[in-house]
Amino acid sequence: SQQGEEDPQALSIQEGENATMNCSYKTSINNLQWYRQNSGRGLVHLILIRSNEREKHSGRLRVTLDTSKKSSSLLITASRAADTASYFCATALNYGGATNKLIFGTGTLLAVQP
């Protein structure tokens, strides 16, 4: 079964508003990553947060990580129509291995209305 589950499954907002997506996972992680996918395209890496970090920023993106609750959130501020996409969280498990195996969540479909 998939490790991560995003919430909500779909989100529709107006341009200029903030969008918040949440991700929950089940087991201990090395890091958590957020990716974006435009319809019918490949995924683009947005941000990586390590298990010993609590918050990270990149431009209009803010990611938080709460390892005690096994959850993360992605905040997109001042959204634009071009932010319309699916957003996935992916967890790298903390099992001490050398392999960069990621487990992806089910995704949040964000629609930003102009």
CB 21 within 8 A of CB 11: yes
Closest CA to 87 of 20, 14, 1: 20
Site string for another protein, 26-65 (x = CB under 8 A): ----xx-x-x----xxxxxx--x-x---------------
| Rounded-to-integer distance, Cα 83 and Cα 100, Å | 27
Asked whether position 2 contacts another protein by CB under 8 A, the answer is yes
**Residue 15 or residue 37: which is nearer to another protein going by CB?**
37
Q: Which residues bind to another protein, rule: CB under 8 A?
A: 2, 4, 30-31, 33, 35, 40-45, 48, 50, 88, 90, 92-94, 97-107
